[in-house]
Amino acid sequence: MRIEEVSSKGNAVLDEVRKAIVGKDEVLRLILTTILAGGHVLLEDLPGLAKTLMAKSFATALGVKFRRVQFTPDLLPSDILGVSVFNQKTLEFEFKRGPIFTNVLLADEVNRAPPKTQSALLEAMQEMQVTVEGKTYELERPFIVMATQNPIEQEGTYPLPEAQLDRFLVRLRVGYPSREEEIEILRRRMARKKEEVDVRPVLTPEEVIEMQRAVEDVYVSDPILEYITDVVLATRDNRKEIEVGASPRGSLALLRLSRAYAALQGRDYVIPDDVKAVAVPALSHRLILKRELWYTRVSQERVMEKLLERVPVPKFE
The answer, yes or no, to whether residue 316 has pLDDT greater than 70, is no
Amino acid letter, residue 307: L
Asked whether 43 and 257 are in contact (CB, 8 A), the reply is no
Mean pLDDT across 152-163: 74
How far apart (Å, rounded) are the C-alpha atoms in residues 250 and 170?
Answer: 10
How far apart (Å, rounded) are the C-alpha atoms in residues 199 and 186?
Answer: 18
Q: What is the DSSP string of 140-200?
A: PSS-EEEEEE-SS--TT--PPPHHHHTTSSEEE---PPPHHHHHHHHHHHHHHTSSS----
pLDDT value for 32: 95
Q: What are phi and psi of 24, to 5 degrees?
A: 55, 35
The answer, yes or no, to whether residue 11 has pLDDT greater than 70, is yes
pLDDT value for 294: 67
pLDDT value for 198: 86
Asked whether 71 and 105 are in contact (CB, 8 A), the reply is no
Q: Which of 39-43, 99-103, 126-130 has the lowest mean pLDDT?
A: 126-130
pLDDT value for 67: 93
Asked whether 267 and 3 are in contact (CB, 8 A), the reply is yes
pLDDT value for 230: 93
CA distances from residue 178 to 21, 30, 192, 295 in whole angstroms, order as listed? 13, 19, 21, 29
Asked whether 209 and 142 are in contact (CB, 8 A), the reply is yes
Q: What digits encode the pLDDT tens for the residues 288-297?
A: 887 777 667 7
Mean pLDDT across 143-164: 80
pLDDT value for 255: 95
Q: Could you tell me which residues are beta bridge partners of residue 288?
A: 244
* CA angle 4–6–12, rounded 5-degree value: 105
pLDDT value for 44: 87
pLDDT value for 154: 67
Q: Specify the pTM.
A: 0.91
Among residues 127, 73, 74, which one has the least CA distance to residue 100? 127
| Domains by residue range for the chain, with CATH | 3-192 (3.40.50.300), 218-310 (1.10.8.80)
